[in-house]
Each structure stands twice: as C-alpha cells, then as structure tokens.
Structure 1
Amino acid sequence: IFLEYFDGRISLIFPKLKCLTFLEVTTDVLLSFIDNLTNLKDLIQLNIYSLNRNNIDTDGIQILLNKIFSANNSRLNTICYDHQSIPLTVIDQNNHLLYSNIKKLEIFLEKLHDLHHLLTRLPQIEIFYVGLQYESLEFNHTKEYSSVESLIELNLISLGYSFYFNELSSILNRTKKIEKLSIKIDNTDDLHLISGNYFNSFLSSFHLKQFNYLIKYISNSSINQKEILSTWKQFSQQFDYLIDDDQNHIILYSIPIHFSHIGISTRFFTNISSINNHFHKIQSLRLYGVPHIISE
C-alpha cells in the first residue's frame, strides 16, 4: 500500500530521512521497496528485522543482497540484518562487486563460505557482526583469502552446528588488525576451542584490546572442567563455566558474559544458581531441551 502512494517519490516526501527500518516484511516487498530508495542524501542506515521468504530462490537471494548493499545509490554505511530473518547466501563471482560504502554491518548468513565471499567485497568494513546458520561441509580450508585491513571489531556467532577451530582460524587469519573480538559458538566437540593455551598461542600475533568468548562444548566422556579452566589463566580477564550433571556438556565463557542474547539448555539449570553477577548484560534468554528438569 505504501508503494502505491509513494512510488518514486520517497526522497521528495522524506528528504531528511537518515535511518529506515523494515520489520516483518517479505522478500518480494523488500525488493520492490529498495528499488525506490534513491537520492535520499541523508539516508545512511538500513535495518531489516524478521525478513520472511516469499517466492525467492538462491539467485534471487543474491540479487536481494546486492540491492540491499547498493541501496540509495550506495550511500548506506550501516546495515543491520538480524538473526530472525532468513539467512543470506553470497555467490562467489570472478568479478566481485565491492561494497566500499559499508563501514558497519550486522548480518545473518547461511554458511562459512558466504562469510568469506562477503568479506572479500567489504574493503572498508570497520565493525562486523555476523551470525552463521549452517555447517559448510564443502568449505575449502586450504584456500587463501585476502586480508581485511580496515576491520577493527569482529563479532562472530555460530548457530546450531558443530564449529571447529580451523573454521575460526580461517576467518581470524584475514582480520589481523582487529582490536575487539567477540566469539559465541553454540555447539562444538573440538577440544582446541576450549583450550586457553591453544587460543593464547594463536592470538599472540594479534593486538586485541578486548576479547569476549562463550562456547558450548560437548564430549562423549566426562569433562575435567577445572583442567579446562586452568588453561585460560594467562588471559587478562577471568573465565568461568557451567557444567551439567552428566559432566559431558560445558559452557565456557569470559566474565562478565558480553552477549545480550544467549540460549541455555535446561540440563544446566541445577548448577546455574551458583553463578553470581555474570549474566547482567543478558537481554534475551532462550531456554530449551530436557523438559523433565523443568517439571521437577
């Protein structure tokens, strides 16, 4: 309805618009609207929340992504695309489109290779928040990617699949200039990701001013939580953990927890009351699994 009245005249009706937010629209509506975002001289920020899919395939998703990043005659410098939206894909192309206008980006992508392809197109990115949805079984770990010299803050969240250290290192090896690093991994069975000694050795070539970490590790055998925690003593901040009664699931995290949105399985509930003042930054909490514990 909005486009029926304002088609082609948005810049005339809202000439001072600086920030535009789309909430719970479909992909077809967003595509139509973005085509009309032109010549808004002050519009530099675009927020897209809870985008729903409607009659769009992988190629269509790529077209949508290009339009989002190039909207308003490539005047945007800040884009927020949240994790409640459909995950985006980035098709590798020989002639890469560069989005040199983007300085700050929050985005939700399907796989690790989408992240690498997108980083190649962001030569001026400074602050990058990215969530990954699915495992990249076909990801080429031996491929070398260009470094991203402009990036100073990286926030990486892996959702719902087992993440591994070589996947993480493939990203960090491209971003050696970062000063702030935040990593949240929802699921892994890789011991390297809970070894502070291993992490400290890898990060020794970085010049980090801030490091935030939260990871859920799953083991087939009993976990020695005190031994794991002792490997993180060489970091400037403290670390702590939550462990379930079976001693084979552990959440390791830096104190205080930096992330505003976390999910916790109810298997950790019997031990969570022992933790004090670590969760004061949490704004959104998702509880899941093991319903019999709740009933007890």
Structure 2
Amino acid sequence: MAVENSYTGWAAVREGKNKLVDGFPYTLKHQRSTLHLKTPVSASTTEAFTQLLSQKRQAKRVSAPLPTGEQLLFAKRQVLETLPKKIRFARGTRKRCGMFDWQIEELINTAEAHRRGASVPGVVGYGYTKSRFGLMDDFFIITELLQNYTDGYQWILARPEEVERVIAAAFELMYSLNSSGIYHMDLWAANMMMCNEGVGATYAIDLENCFAQKNEFLSETLGFQFGFFFLREVNGFFDEARYDAKVELALKQYAGIDRERFRRVYQVTKHQHVGRKERREVFLRGVVPLADITKMT
C-alpha cells in the first residue's frame, strides 16, 4: 500500500464538469482498491482506510462512521451490481439520459456544494475496487462525519412536539442552498442533519439528486421542494394549513416568484410522490409529470 501525489485518476470524474481529480491529488492503493484523497492522511487514518477496503461486502450499500484516531469521517460504499453500470464506471461515461450514475452525481454535487460554501459535509475522498478484468465492483465516498448530529426525521420521531423547529431549520437550509445555486431535489427530513446541542449549523446530505447550475424554473423548483418536504413524513406530524402559512412566509425571501406556477407544482407534490428522474423535469423544464392537477387544488 502506498500514498503518493498523483493526478492520474478516474476518467469519469476527470471528465466531469468539476474536474474533481484536480482537487483530490493523493492516491492510496490497497490490493485492487484505490482511494483519491484531498490531503495526505495520518498512519491511523491510513489503517482505517485499509480496513474499510479489506472488508467483505455484506450489503449492497453500507453507510457508517469510519473509526479513526484523528479525523472524524463517514464512508459510503455502494456495490455496482450490473454489467452496464460497471462498464460506465470503468469508462467514465454517462447514461443515455446524460446523467452520471447516482453515486457519481452525489460525489460531484457534494464537492461542488462544499466548494461554494454551502452547508454540506466536506468530501475527503472517493474510491473504488476493481476486478481482475478492470471493471469496478464497488464505489466509495468519504466525507466529514457530522458528530453529535441527528437527522431531521429521527428528530421528529423522538420529539414530535418539535416538528415546527425542524420545519424552520429545513426552510432556512433550503434558502441557504438555493442562494448558493445548489438545488437539492431530495431534501426531506432525513436528508437534513441537526445539531443535538442546538448551536451548530444544519447540514444537507445525500446530494445525488441535485443541481448546481442556473435555475430557469425557480417557481416550479420551489413548489416541488416545499411540497416534497411536507409529503415526506412531515404531513403526519403537522397540520397542512399551518404548513401552507409557513411556506407563504418563507416565499417572501425569494424574489420574482410566479405564485401560480409555484402553486401548481406545490399542490401536486405535497400529496403525490414524484420519482427521482421525474424531479429533474421539474427543474429542467418546469414540468410536473403527473396528471389531473385540478384534483390537488
């Protein structure tokens, strides 16, 4: 195993719009696995990485804190199951729809959001394990660990009387992300991390379905974001009319919102699930791919 300064790296990321390899110049290799890291790591962190790379795969996806002596880290490991996906990862190519696979999208979006100063965990590194045939078997993303934090959904379950506090934190986080040009299209209570002591910032996680580009349909995007947040679990703990009133107050922070375009999306998405791929249509085209919006009004 060796750690070296190297800009030779994974084609999919090198060709990505953010050229992440340029920001992760240190390479750690162990057997058939490679990690690209932002900075050199200590001996204890190197040992923790070695243990991670040596672990046998026990599940398709594993997300867990990485025990290290000096750095607080969090690792995600995703098994690449299908041959087409393995080939795309090895070649660094996109899917037919023009997107990278979700794991690569998460890596690119999280790193870009952190670069812009958005409230997301910093990316420490990423990596993969290759088979003897050169195809990738699994993929890793390593980020900073948010210690002493709880996700918003668990917070509501433990303290249902504080659901209003979670809503307020979510709206503040949403505005902060959007103001940075980061549009999270999967922002529900479990994808926001709240400080247990109530003094730290709220963070967004799981940015695989996210945009870091100019928004031509902000009214529709906000309609989806506010509606989706209500649909994903908050609706079981908070009255809809009271939620609508809070949304109206939150919208005053945004300039130039077309209320009719906002309302048409909002009324649908706070009652009906919109799949991850379909959400992209909301952002890119301002289209809600659901029929009979009138039933939602």
TM-score, normalising length: structure 2: 0.30
> As a proportion of its length, which structure holds more strand?
1
> As a proportion of its length, which structure holds more helix?
2
TM-score, normalising length: structure 1: 0.30
